Structure 1
Amino acid sequence: MDATFYRSSRTGKPPLRIGLLLDTASLPRWSAEVVDHIVQCDFETIELLVFNGSARKNAGEARPARSLIRKVIDTLRDARSRRSFLFILYRRWDLRNADPSTDPVAMVDCTERLAHLESMQVDPITTRFVHRFPDDAIERIREKKLDVLIRFGFNILRGEILTAARYGVWSYHHGDNDYYRGGPAYFWELLEGNPVSGATLQVLTEELDAGTALYKGLFATHAGFSHVRNRVQPYWGASTFMIQKLRELHAHGWDHVERNAVKPAPYQGKKKIYSIPSNVEMLQWLVPLLIGKTLRRLVRRPMIRHWRIAVRVGAPPIPNSISQPEMSGFYWIGSPKGHYYADPFVVEADGKHWVYFEDFDYATQLGKISCAEVRDGGLGEPLTVLERPYHLSYPCVFRDGGTWYMVPETASTGTVQLYRCTRFPDLWQFERELLRGFAVDTTVWIENRVYWFFVTLQEPRGRACQLWLYSASSLDGTWTPHPANPISTDVRYARGGGAIFRHEGKLFRPSQDCSGEYGRSLTLNEIVVMDREQYRQEPRVTVDPVWMKDLVGTHTYCRAGAVEVIDGKTLLPADRVL
């Protein structure tokens, strides 16, 4: 995510005093980026580096070269390594999936960028996996009057170091700490088939991975069985958590940070503490996966995930549902061969209903915006209304002061664009650029002379999503970021799934769930509070793809008057589609 928003805190308060707990000056790329965020901001300073003396010694020791056969023999001789031999082999195989341009754990030498900072070395008192700090080290650290210690090194910490800084030791836990304590990070989500992989920023306590969770994000687990690929999105998606919460601490104080911390929940993991999987666990996981993959290759017929849109008129709307909504009565619209239709938005004008949608061309891999009138429960002849040399989708169409506007998704340009209708429904011209950034599925809501813009920002390396809310006093006014941003870092709710609408006095925001796979399902969230200081939404109705036979996804819903539109994804043979 873009950390620019968090780099300034114009409160006039003294800067926070930060200490870093490090093994060596070589850091994983994600850690180095977090350090850069701290260095680049104007509200905190790094006052002390605390290096792990034992790690430095180990890093300086030259290890004799060993042949592959020697490595295998040494591994099999050690009882612990022998128990996890298959995982060791798997991990070596999986390294081939690492992309050097996006690998978050590739090591970076930070010696130069840290050289000007005061440092000390501590030889921790070690008991198995636990590190405690000697009294003299604690005393020197306390003398620096640090506000926060940030842990990037050492083992499990216990003892007085946990209270040596005013607001404790802050540390990332790469995993959802309600389900996964221990490690390896982001492996067990694959083995257990969990569609989401979490990341937590916590204040450490004596209990492992059970400290105060300051912030949590949930990201999509990567399809397949590559541990290396699965860690990319959550590592990069969580990289701004630290600077986000430090800025909150500086601007609003500890009470605010604590009040907005993640509510504690009972631990629900299948294991008390996760560790490296045994050979039996690896076989139980890998054998069925490999057999299934082999069988699919033997009988494989080229298949495509094909989107369609559907229309329903006069039925009780989905928000009336309490549990699984009533979905009968939707009429599916066919698309020309070589195309799919998705992302429908319906509007009412002069007594007629018009559906705007993405018209995707498989040959060019580009989408354009088309529209069609709702007639006799279906759609009339489609009209092309907006086409560019880049991809267009998600046509958020709305009216302001008698004029129709559209904000289509134009993420490939790195901008959010506004178009104005010069002849309804089919002539549109570019009006202005609203925002620069890799943004998808921007949704606009206007009420009480306030213009609200819901924007899903994507981190470019792993495509992690955060939902950001902006407001303005006019359509061409300056966007003000909401103080609660990001209002969601949960892959199940962060991405827009259609136009915001009011129903029976309640305001609903559709969102799509991209866990498991893109556009798996959609949820109608009731916006309970939305003003310039607060935002809160609650999920009310979820539409899973089980509502129609053969659906594997459904991710956009919109309604206007008695007309509802939705889309759905099915797995079809390529020769039926192309």
Structure 2
Amino acid sequence: MYKSSNFNSISQVFTKVSRVNNRYLAGIKNIAKIFVTRRSEWSIGIYIGESPFDLVSPDTIINPVLTAKDITDVPAHFVADPFMVRENGIWYMFFEVLNGLQNKGVIGLATSSDAYNWNYQKIVLDEPFHLSYPYVFKFQNDYYLIPETSEASSIRLYKAINFPTQWSYVKSLLTQSDFADTSIFQHNNLWWLLTATSESRNTLRLYYSEDLMDGWVEHPKSPVIQGNKSIARPAGRVIVFDDKIVRYTQDCERIYGHQVRGFEITELTTTSYKEKEVKNNPVIKASGIGWNQIGMHHIDAHQIDKKKWVACVDGKRYRLVFEPRFNK
């Protein structure tokens, strides 16, 4: 009688423990499904090379130089689309910060004395709509900024009131379309704009004007690229050097932001447009490992010596994210 009672008690305990373990293991399985997700994460690096078509990550730099963890004033999911300028010996980098709280892009600022080591400063531009691709340039001793504002259906021009931290909206150069990754440059006393349109960003349009502020006209050959997502979407600053005009383009044929290709614009007038692909394509691409494991989609290259270029780039990797959500 005693042995039987004891045995039954022990058996009941083991049964309860087994049930608890099963529920625990099932719970762990459910939690894993809920909590662990794979997110693509962009960060920013520095490349150097002898030409804007031959750029590599130097041994003297630990890339990436800026990540979401460097952002201190908003909860950032990633940083991307860097553009930089040099003023009085200091490099200023403007870039997209994806604000995780609002799920929209804002524009951040970092500074450097050598273009290699960067210090994050602050968010310098925030709007009710998404901002990215902060194309910064200097004209007549003033700094201007054209960020992507496709959610506002316009190309918006900003001017620095107090460079580099205070920017004021000037006007919309073009409206009534979802312009993406607008790139501006000067050539033969005219201003030129390359910008991507269409939902899939597979169309590249060209505009020109005698005046930065007004009079923008679509080129008669525009769209200069149509229905081709491997060469349409701009991927950084258009560079003019050695009597050449070079545009970078995102190659999104395989996946979004996989690699960057270069094209030399060989003929550019108000009536004609021709280009050819550069030999060293892709200029940058996914490495398969590390911070740029699955993609690179942006270059801003600057010539700092006869055979020395420095460029800010971005790269994408996968990261496991643990999210605080529970099953009800």
- Which interval holds the TM-score relative to the shorter structure? 0.7 to 0.9
* Identical columns (%): 25
- Partner Cα separation in structure 2 for residue 357 and residue 364 of structure 1: 17
Checking the alignment, whether the CA contact within 8 Å between 1:319 and 1:503 is kept in structure 2 is no
Aligned ranges for residues 271-282 of structure 1 at < 5 Å? none
1:265-294 per-position Cα deviation (integer Å, ceiling 9, x unaligned): xxxxxxxxxxxxxxxxxxxxxxxxxxxxxx
Is 2:99 aligned against 1:357? no
Greater C-alpha Rg: 1
Alpha-carbon deviation of 1:395? 0.3
Is 2:281 aligned against 1:546? no
Q: What's the counterpart of residue 458 of structure 1?
A: 198
Alpha-carbon deviation of 1:299? 12
Amino acid at match of 1:574: V
Q: Helix, strand or coil: the match of 1:511?
A: strand
Amino acid at match of 1:556: H
Give the alignment's TM-score, normalised by structure 2: 0.77
Larger RCO: 1 or 2 (CA < 8 Å, sep 6+): 2
Alpha-carbon deviation of 1:503? 3.8
1:115-142 per-position Cα deviation (integer Å, ceiling 9, x unaligned): xxxxxxxxxxxxxxxxxxxxxxxxxxxx
Q: What's the counterpart of residue 38 of structure 2?
A: 303
- Partner Cα separation in structure 2 for residue 457 and residue 304 of structure 1: 26
- Give unpaired runs (5+ residues) of structure 1: 1-296
Q: Helix, strand or coil: the match of 1:546?
A: coil
Q: What's the counterpart of residue 53 of structure 1?
A: none
Change (3 A) 1:464 1:387: closer
Checking the alignment, whether the CA contact within 8 Å between 1:311 and 1:378 is kept in structure 2 is no
Checking the alignment, whether the CA contact within 8 Å between 1:339 and 1:361 is kept in structure 2 is yes
1:383-432 per-position Cα deviation (integer Å, ceiling 9, x unaligned): 21110111100001111111111110011111111101111111100000
Q: What's the counterpart of residue 405 of structure 1?
A: 144
Q: What's the counterpart of residue 165 of structure 2?
A: 426
Is 2:180 aligned against 1:443? no
Aligned ranges for residues 209-288 of structure 1 at < 5 Å? none
Q: Which has the higher strand share?
A: 2
Is 2:252 aligned against 1:511? no
- Partner Cα separation in structure 1 for residue 246 and residue 80 of structure 2: 20
Q: What's the counterpart of residue 532 of structure 1?
A: 270
Amino acid at match of 2:225: S
Alpha-carbon deviation of 1:544? 1.8
Q: What's the counterpart of residue 15 of structure 2?
A: none
Amino acid at match of 1:546: S
Q: Helix, strand or coil: the match of 1:484?
A: coil
Give the alignment's TM-score, normalised by structure 1: 0.45
- Partner Cα separation in structure 2 for residue 450 and residue 521 of structure 1: 30
- Partner Cα separation in structure 1 for residue 93 and residue 157 of structure 2: 18
1:87-110 per-position Cα deviation (integer Å, ceiling 9, x unaligned): xxxxxxxxxxxxxxxxxxxxxxxx
Alpha-carbon deviation of 1:464? 4.7
Return the match for 1:482 from 203, 207, 219. 219
Alpha-carbon deviation of 1:298? 8.1
- Give unpaired runs (5+ residues) of structure 2: 1-31, 70-74, 305-309, 324-328
Change (3 A) 1:368 1:338: closer
Checking the alignment, whether the CA contact within 8 Å between 2:180 and 2:201 is kept in structure 1 is no
Is 2:167 aligned against 1:469? no
1:27-77 per-position Cα deviation (integer Å, ceiling 9, x unaligned): xxxxxxxxxxxxxxxxxxxxxxxxxxxxxxxxxxxxxxxxxxxxxxxxxxx
1:168-216 per-position Cα deviation (integer Å, ceiling 9, x unaligned): xxxxxxxxxxxxxxxxxxxxxxxxxxxxxxxxxxxxxxxxxxxxxxxxx
Q: Which has the higher helix share?
A: 1
Checking the alignment, whether the CA contact within 8 Å between 1:520 and 1:545 is kept in structure 2 is yes
Aligned ranges for residues 155-194 of structure 1 at < 5 Å? none
Paired positions, count: 272
Checking the alignment, whether the CA contact within 8 Å between 1:449 and 1:474 is kept in structure 2 is no
Amino acid at match of 1:373: T
Q: What's the counterpart of residue 235 of structure 1?
A: none
Checking the alignment, whether the CA contact within 8 Å between 1:506 and 1:527 is kept in structure 2 is yes
Is 2:321 aligned against 1:574? yes
Aligned ranges for residues 84-163 of structure 1 at < 5 Å? none
- Partner Cα separation in structure 2 for residue 317 and residue 358 of structure 1: 27
